[in-house]
Structure 1
Amino acid sequence: MTIFDDIRLLRVTYLRGPNLWTYRSALEVWLDLGELEKHPSDKLPGFVARLTAALPALEEHHCGVGERGGFLQRLVEGTWMGHVLEHVVIELLNLAGMPTGFGQTRSTSKPGVYRMVFRARDEAVARCALEHGHRVLMGVINGLAVDVSAAVQAVREAIDRAYLGPSTAHIVASATDRRIPHLRLNEGNLVQLGHGKRQHRIWTAETDRTSAIAEGIARDKDLTKRLITAVGVPVPEGRIADSAAAAWEAAEAIGVPVAVKPSDGNHGRGVTLDLTTREQVEAAWVLAEQEGSEVIVERYIPGDEHRLLVVAGQLVAAARGEAAWVNADGRQTVAQLVEAQLNNDPRRGETEDHPLGRIDVREDGAIVADLRRQGLHAEAVPEAGRRVLIQRNGNVAIDCTDEVHPDFARIASLAARTIGLDIAGVDLVAQDIAKPLAQQQAAVVEVNAGPGLLSHLKPAVGSPRPVGKAIVDHLFPPGDDGRIPLVGIAGGGSTSRIARLVAWLLQLSGRQVGLACREGLYLGTRRVDERDATDGALAERLLLNRDVDAAVFENDAATILDQGLVYDRCRIGVVTDLDNAAALERHDIRDADGLPRVLRTQMDVVLSDGCGVLNADDARIAELAQYCDGAVILYATKGAALAAHREAGGRAVLAREGAIVLCEGTAEEPLTLRGSTHLHLHELLPAVAAAWAFGLAPALLAAGIDTFDVHTCAETH
């Protein structure tokens, strides 16, 4: 059997935003097949069988055929290895739990060299999938043993390292459903929703509206109880105990049974319930003291634990807990019974993907204490038929949102508002949450900032609740998409002066305008960075800035090909020219005819209530109007180029005898300029059209042009 050299990966580029291929981030790979160019899939004996044996789910790939089994059909008919690599990488991502459907492979002008691209939500994960997919494919090609499970595990670990936690991811997905953009601000779960002045930030279930004072109060359980008691929220009587002996004194004063817990603990750690003897109370104090700065002894309230999620004063979800028990068979130890009857439940695990946690009967102090009270320990063998209590709390994962009586919704909301939390997890104990408060003994035991959402997103029993939507709606009222107006200006040549003029004109509307262009990064007329700000990492700073309420971005073809756009959508998109194709040879673009497909990206991202601005002097650019979801303004130095567009009632900007004329259908309005301008028509016309699309009145446009000084924007910090 012939052994083939590895497919060479010539260049790997992460495209962070909308690009030549797709609206979303992607990984583009230039690869050289070498000798494999002469050996498509149907020319390699046994290859298809080996590949489908290694990755049987490839049968589900539709490919260009458009139906299940489409890719297998292509394999049998014969397809090149670049295309096969695309599908292998996508399948590894699918198997690792990151469903991926988009991929393309295209030949270049050089024989054997291809451009392969696939959807990449994260660069590190995409590169990992590419590395292992490449290794698997070469193994299959050369008839070697391949370890697909190891490849999948490597990709899965990369996903675990790189991706948002499930609670944060759910909130971000809810924002995406409302077309609110997001930016990840660190390697953890700090995420910005929206842009510039209209942004909000989340950190899991905390927001930039979550008060630091309220968080501090919530951490202090004794202070929390005193405050919510004062407004009429029922709480269990309790006292701070600074020693084990003091804990028993408090228990005697309150009356047993009692609960003992750390004053500033969380997730139920160090909490022991239903204590009746001095030995139990003092042992529980030692356990609680290890988990917090102070220990509280409080009256034990019989009933089930409940977690009520309150967002902006409204109850949005509720979950109930239940005690965990095992049934003894007279043969197995307590630890073995727990593994067989509780920990084998697929809903239990160590990660946030599991609604229930694994139970450790040897290390969890509260469990050890409860077993001791029953005369047992982890290695004891209870008699057959005995029912053994393993865990009293920590299993809050049964959805009960629809059962909550209005009394409990009211006190949960009151507790959250009293502490001052915009998002709160209110823990309460009740015998039946569906019945009125007056008919039972019930109490709020904790109010938590930054509550976990998993019990509402993936309950062990019951329906998931759209808590992410509630949080997003809290931050962004209906109709608010968190976007500031963005203007993208794309061309094959230099568009810096156009971008600067547009930014100048937009400031006349009273907005704080940011500008990212080849000459630097600007806030108003102040240049804050002199580096080329067509680089996405620099340009993104405008989207992060809370002072910016409009921004202008210069994007040449190289920027789109090398990085993708820094924004997902824009209010106004401008395409000016098809110059400078010679500088794009490394992208396999040889002349201006290759540029419209690249610059189309700028039209693809115009919002439906936005506007595309196109140079009608070049028919290839004017044809990009078909890809714009919003309105279109054409501009030209020759009126004939605008005739059909104007006859259809469209807006246009034209040059006539040295003057600039704004047209809407047959109506015309000339701009009255006071003096001569140093700007050329190919700079003036697109800038005027973009500012007009933004909503500037003709008089303001004229004033802006008259007062624009190209040197004004060169001021540095």
Structure 2
Amino acid sequence: MFDIQYIHNYPGISPFAKEPILLALITPSGLISKEIYQRCLNLFAHYPEWLSDELSQHLTEMKDPPPLELSPQVLLGKTIAQWTLAALNEVRGFIQAAGADVTPDGRIQVWLGFHHIQVSKTALELTLRALLLAGDSTEGISIQNKAIIDQQLNALWLDCKQCHPDYQARILMYAAQQLGIPFLPFIENSRFWQFGWGCNARVFMESASNKDGMLAAHWAGSKVSSKQIFVQLGMPTPQYLLVQHQEQLEEAALKVGWPCVIKPLNCGGGKGVSANIQNLATLKKGYHYARKFSSDSLMVERHIEGDDYRIMVIGGKVSAVIRRDPASITGDGIQTISQLIKQLNKNRTTNLVKSAYKRPIMIDDVLIAQLEQQDVSLNYVPATGVKISLRSNANISTGGSGTDVSTGVHPDLIKAAEAIATTMGLHTTGVDYITTDISRSWSEGAGTFIEVNTTPGLDVLISSGLDPLTVGTQVLGETIASVPICFIVVSPEELDIVMEILQQKSLSDDKGWSCKQKVSIGSLTLNTEGMSPQQATEVMLRHQSLHQAIVVYDTEQLMRYGAPISQCEQVLVSPMAVKVLSRPWIGMLKGLPSKNTLSTCGIEEICIQLTQYY
């Protein structure tokens, strides 16, 4: 019923989008107008949150025969593009481009962004299968077919988790897009992303960056080192002991005192943590739970009464203080604990953006044990207003919630957190602190420092009500930006002339050029053998010695790969190149964010400008 043909992919900027896209032609056959509308309607009825307002209006205003602007092919193309894009971004991803139009011969041309091209192809093909499974019945999709679609989506989302940017990178990408900051993978198919170009770039892995020192990462990555540094800096921290075997638990608990906490040394996000342990039997359960995450030594630490606070420090200054509350439900006198959890989870989906980064609460052994400590079970019906704790730890990743309390924090805590981050050499960090009163200093006996995080979850800030753009902007800082680039487009015959001039001149060490898959920065020639023009240009842009650059493409390279940069200071196009390029490609070049508009220059003038560049 659907034949799909992949005709091209653009890793650079094209007339279709300002991000990498694939281009496909889809030929529907054997579908009548009314059937197409019903299939689209059924598909979005099962996934209503993926439906845009525009498409929703199209579907609710179905007519037979439909008006020209709502033709079956147009609606089908919009549905395919929109549903595929939503599926790709549901769990992880920051793909913006998706669209469709109808060719003169009635086929549907679809363009779709990608982080990993095979994942986007898989999603597109899944959408076509889903349309077939959606059926044309006014009763909607059958239960059996819904299950098949959901199963295939879950398989896709596993690929997205492996190949798409994580949610923290997404927050930074969103801010970078709004601020006009370019970004690219620093290492392909990894979690390392570069924001900015050349001397104005910084590389991030989650919220950590190459601005953080190696020692800082080592110290903060070790819970023991963090606590030792607290002591060396004169900051209070709970007593602790390390255990390797279950037989050591009782002695450790007696030395640190009851109640206590047990946790792995090498895990974050609350994994393996059990807190407020009152007796040896519960401590043993906590030991076995922690062992699911680590075979190394475990930390038994004195439990400190009070609320859990994350003090976020960015660029040496406290940006926010968040109270983190463990997952809990409040009784209504009617529903069981299990039903109340289900109700709470309705707005906590796998789509972290839509759920404001609030995680679903998982019913597992840890939750059951927490209920047992309160002498209740999942079938228990709490009275109206009675609060039931579901976790002992307050991590957002395990269903906890956050509240911004930045305005009521004692000045000593602000100064202490900033001193810790600065001394350890951490640009972005989260300092965990427990106290019964955040408005009092620890010198009054009100609190203690727990640990330092090199990759503090930015989700805790957003789930507490802070604006994602503000959070991303703070982490990126004020120094990340592009570098001045002159983008030159010539005919294939003129490319060798430009290349000869580039190779004849001596560059200063802060200037670079990319042409014919060759790259130089100053006197340094980089190894770009076997790379595409796009990849070669990105190699140059990763070097932080680069302050200024020239990028040269011929028309064939431009139309094959797209422009390798999303912004530049100047665009020069030779008259011979203008003759070859179609109007959409000229429009794309004119649309590059540049200080100067596109200039048409003869090859002689281009050569003169190249000479002046040196």
CA distance in 1, matches of 2:418, 2:232: 15
Please state how far the C-alpha of 1:222 moved relative to its aligned partner.
Answer: 2.9
Task: Tell me the equivalent position of 1:641.
Answer: none
Give the partner amino acid of 1:76.
P
Structure 1 residues 44-78: Cα deviation after superposition (integer angstroms, max 9, x where no partner): 56356535633668996759xxx978997995237
Please state how far the C-alpha of 1:235 moved relative to its aligned partner.
Answer: 1.4
Give the partner amino acid of 1:120.
G
- Aligned CA distance change for structure 1 residues 126 and 451 (closer, same or farther; 3 Å): same
In the alignment, structure 1 residue 131 sits paired with structure 2 residue 125: yes
Of 26, 32, 41, the match for 1:53: 41
- Aligned CA distance change for structure 1 residues 87 and 152 (closer, same or farther; 3 Å): farther
CA contact (8 A) 2:38 2:136 kept: no
Structure 1 residues 555-580: Cα deviation after superposition (integer angstroms, max 9, x where no partner): 2222232221111112221111336x
- Aligned CA distance change for structure 1 residues 240 and 105 (closer, same or farther; 3 Å): closer
Task: Tell me the equivalent position of 1:391.
Answer: 391
- Describe the SS at the equivalent of 2:569: strand
Q: Percent identity?
A: 17
Deviates more, 1:130-139 or 1:199-208: 130-139
CA contact (8 A) 1:60 1:68 kept: no
Structure 1 residues 70-96: Cα deviation after superposition (integer angstroms, max 9, x where no partner): 997995237776544431222313653
Task: Tell me the equivalent position of 2:113.
Answer: 120
CA contact (8 A) 1:20 1:560 kept: no
CA contact (8 A) 1:355 1:458 kept: yes
Task: Tell me the equivalent position of 1:205.
Answer: 207
Give the partner amino acid of 2:609.
A
- Describe the SS at the equivalent of 1:46: helix
- Aligned CA distance change for structure 1 residues 420 and 246 (closer, same or farther; 3 Å): farther
- Aligned CA distance change for structure 1 residues 280 and 329 (closer, same or farther; 3 Å): same
Residue correspondences, number: 582
CA distance in 2, matches of 1:104, 1:383: 52
Q: How does the TM-score come out when normalised to structure 2?
A: 0.79
CA distance in 2, matches of 1:140, 1:249: 62
Task: Tell me the equivalent position of 2:240.
Answer: 238
Give the partner amino acid of 1:472.
L
Task: Tell me the equivalent position of 1:408.
Answer: 413
Structure 1 residues 368-396: Cα deviation after superposition (integer angstroms, max 9, x where no partner): 655555567x6896998997544221344
Task: Tell me the equivalent position of 2:605.
Answer: 685
Give the partner amino acid of 2:594.
L
Q: How does the TM-score come out when normalised to structure 1?
A: 0.69
Task: Tell me the equivalent position of 2:92.
Answer: none
- Describe the SS at the equivalent of 2:575: coil
CA distance in 2, matches of 1:22, 1:350: 27
How do residues 669-708 of structure 1 correspond to structure 2 at under 5 angstroms? 683-689=603-609, 692=612, 696=613
Give the partner amino acid of 1:86.
G
Task: Tell me the equivalent position of 1:319.
Answer: 322
Please state how far the C-alpha of 1:170 moved relative to its aligned partner.
Answer: 0.2
In the alignment, structure 1 residue 28 sits paired with structure 2 residue 23: yes
- Describe the SS at the equivalent of 2:418: helix
- Aligned CA distance change for structure 1 residues 599 and 372 (closer, same or farther; 3 Å): closer
Task: Tell me the equivalent position of 2:225.
Answer: 223
In the alignment, structure 1 residue 300 sits paired with structure 2 residue 316: no
Give the partner amino acid of 1:391.
R
Structure 1 residues 188-229: Cα deviation after superposition (integer angstroms, max 9, x where no partner): 421111223432110101111222322222233233222212
- Aligned CA distance change for structure 1 residues 547 and 494 (closer, same or farther; 3 Å): farther
- Describe the SS at the equivalent of 2:438: coil
CA contact (8 A) 1:90 1:100 kept: no
CA distance in 2, matches of 1:602, 1:342: 53
**Greater RCO (CA < 8 Å, at least 6 residues apart):** 2
Please state how far the C-alpha of 1:341 moved relative to its aligned partner.
Answer: 2.2
CA contact (8 A) 1:261 1:297 kept: yes
Give the partner amino acid of 1:613.
S
Task: Tell me the equivalent position of 1:105.
Answer: 101
- Describe the SS at the equivalent of 2:493: coil
- Describe the SS at the equivalent of 1:321: strand
Task: Tell me the equivalent position of 2:485.
Answer: 486
Give the partner amino acid of 2:435.
A
- Aligned CA distance change for structure 1 residues 390 and 21 (closer, same or farther; 3 Å): closer
- Aligned CA distance change for structure 1 residues 265 and 292 (closer, same or farther; 3 Å): farther
Give the partner amino acid of 1:688.
I
Deviates more, 1:7-16 or 1:170-179: 7-16
Please state how far the C-alpha of 1:614 moved relative to its aligned partner.
Answer: 1.3
Give the partner amino acid of 2:83.
L
- Structure 2's unaligned 5+ residue stretches are 90-94
Please state how far the C-alpha of 1:500 moved relative to its aligned partner.
Answer: 2.4
- Describe the SS at the equivalent of 2:558: helix
Task: Tell me the equivalent position of 2:77.
Answer: 86
In the alignment, structure 1 residue 601 sits paired with structure 2 residue 588: yes
- Structure 1's unaligned 5+ residue stretches are 1-5, 582-591, 616-681, 701-717
Structure 1 residues 406-442: Cα deviation after superposition (integer angstroms, max 9, x where no partner): 2322222223334332222211111122444445521
Give the partner amino acid of 1:467.
V
Deviates more, 1:547-556 or 1:562-571: 547-556
Give the partner amino acid of 2:471.
V
CA contact (8 A) 2:260 2:301 kept: yes
CA distance in 2, matches of 1:529, 1:258: 56
CA contact (8 A) 1:499 1:517 kept: no
CA distance in 1, matches of 2:549, 2:611: 12
CA contact (8 A) 2:39 2:136 kept: no
- Aligned CA distance change for structure 1 residues 54 and 506 (closer, same or farther; 3 Å): farther
